Structure 1
């Protein structure tokens, strides 16, 4: 709608940082404690209401069960309620409409899951006033992993090979950010280059600084904020060509 309005008025330039369905890939050689913690905060931060949320977790098959076990332990520690109350670690969703949308998406994922023999919910759903949270384990054949939930729903999926996980990670209309956890620098470079995302974090997540350009690929927007590239969006480049008269010496 913003771009349409710009086109109908005076063709003003707009930069759009839009939504995401960001993949976070955890390889078997990763520091597991570090990966679990960053992946958890990367999703549950701000009640999951964050454009860069690590909402699609791909975990290598050999460490999948242990990763899920530790992730559920993290989720169960959360205390829901008024965020201004001491001891509360997670506040409500922005409004009742969003709260209900999140629960509907969780239910749709659970219903669609058995069709593909995959869906399972662990950690359960806690709801205090208008704040649901859940840990979901779903494969990409379910509709849920393709939609931006914008809520505290963590989807953890298995993968077996490097090529497979790159293909699945890029199988989205979005391309805002991504995460990779591995101790293998060659693997980190290969995957970060292959991922279709404007920002890729390696062995960390949600690390943003004013010097680093931020923006998305595909339906996650156009243009960049921050860094030198952020200044380009406000720059008009001018070319002046001048013929110099030549006088006989």
Structure 2
């Protein structure tokens, strides 16, 4: 018997045929005619096909985006008009939130409850940047008599935005909303694993009145469509969220025309648990920090540094939290953790189980795949680990964490900062002075104190070291999407 969920708008969208590219306000097939499969990771079944765009399609999208950028219908739109447009997009997202959440859950395996929460955040992102559209100011600078010196903030131009599969619409919104608020045009390249929700967002944006060519969507593979965007001389800025390895390739490819680049890359985030910490609260938050979205988040709590005096007690508390995580079908209301996104990711994550034990880490709980269709693994904790182990050095991107014992604050900081990454970190202590002292010493773009994963659109997000270049969100993101022009006028 068919369920209500099976009769939903999400089903209708998914079943409506192969998805096309959005170029210049029109939905068109890839010039090659090729498509690729999109797979539901909850069962491994093909749920649809999307156009396999490549360099020729990127060329067409760039031409459309450039035409739109120079068209007075967009370039001449006043800031209030852009603000109203962003609010209309936000309203469309809110009105179709359940459909978008279901599409995203089917495409990347996130529990429906989490997908709903993330889609709500997508709408809020457009609301936030709607406010920015009317507040992008230049400055009048002090100057000698007879000279007027002022600055203008102008849009960068055509922006290529390459987003990942773990939070497709969240990441897309973080890039599209500020770009449009500043008057740019966009070419969005969703991850090949999760194209569907971005395509539906494109439909909603067109319905909301976004002018033709202002938003373009080219689905396809990173090696073809993504590489073409990074290297294209007609693109003025590239924003990428994904692995550090791919980020380095994008940086090299972008050097051809010295396009502006922002990168939000990998992490190996340390959580430092001092002996005076509330161990129960720390266990709850760090557990969520490593299993949320099946551990497929760049800020996953994948290194937990625990004072030796409480290491074993904390390991037991964390294991208790892991054992009550309900792993299962993303569309079941009680599911807390769904599958990994793909067979490739499943193979990568499970390969670390043997690696960790071979290096001498002690398995506390988990360490196995689940015997069911789809790409499910158990939440996994290793204890008595060392920072030179592969599981401590490499980003696993799955529900796997490790506990590393330390003896004092100095050692904890040395271990925490001994990594090529610097995206996020956390400090767990009741000592206020220690909390802020350690937060300042940590080399990370975000530091949480006695909490984890909390974010706000008003605060910049990004990483130190090989965790990225530049910042998204907050006022800092406006710098990434505007050029500053200095004007000098002789008055006599």
Normalising by structure 2, we get a TM-score of: 0.47
Aligned to 1:32: 279
- Aligned: 1:135 with 2:377: no
Aligned position for 1:106: 353
Deviation at 1:65, TM superposition (A): 1.1
**Equivalent runs, 1:89-238 vs 2, <5 Å:** 89-113=336-360, 119-128=361-370, 129=372, 130-133=375-378, 134-137=380-383, 138-238=385-485
Q: Is the 8 A contact 1:21 1:53 kept in 2?
A: yes
Distance in 2, matches of 1:120 and 1:98, equals 23
Pick the structure with more helix per residue. Answer: 2
Partners in 1 of 2:305 and 2:445 — Cα distance?
19
Deviations 1:90-124 (A, max 9, x none): 211011111111111121111122xxxxx100113
Q: Counterparts of 2:356 and 2:362 in 1: how far apart (Å)? A: 9
Unaligned runs of 5+ in 2: 1-248
1:4 is matched with: 252
Listed one character per residue, the Cα deviations across residues 118-141 of structure 1 (whole Å, up to 9, x for unaligned) are: x10011334224221211112213
1:51 maps to: 298
Whole-Å separation in 1 of the counterparts to 2:438 and 2:428: 10
SS class of match (2:311) = helix
2:310 aligned counterpart, secondary structure:
helix
Alignment partners' CA distance in 1, 2:369 and 2:333: 19
Higher RCO structure (Cα 8 Å, ≥6 apart): 1
For the residue of structure 1 that corresponds to 2:420, the secondary structure is coil
How many residues matched? Answer: 239
Is the contact between residue 106 and residue 144 of structure 1 (CA under 8 Å) also seen in structure 2? no
TM-score (ref. length: structure 1):
0.92
Q: Displacement, 1:222? A: 0.5
Structure with bigger gyration radius = 2
Kept after mapping to 2: 8 A contact 1:136/1:156: yes
Query: Are 1:87 and 2:329 matched, yes or no?
Result: no
Change (3 A) 1:132 1:43: same
Separation (CA, whole Å) in 1 of partners of 2:294 and 2:267: 15
Give the alignment's Cα RMSD to 1 decimal: 1.3
In 2, the alpha carbon distance for the partners of 1:75 and 1:27 equals: 21
Cα distance between partner residues in 1 of 2:300 and 2:420: 15
Q: Is the 8 A contact 2:426 2:448 kept in 1?
A: yes
Question: Which sections of structure 1, spanning at least 5 residues, go unmatched?
Answer: 114-118
CA contact (8 A) 1:177 1:200 kept: yes
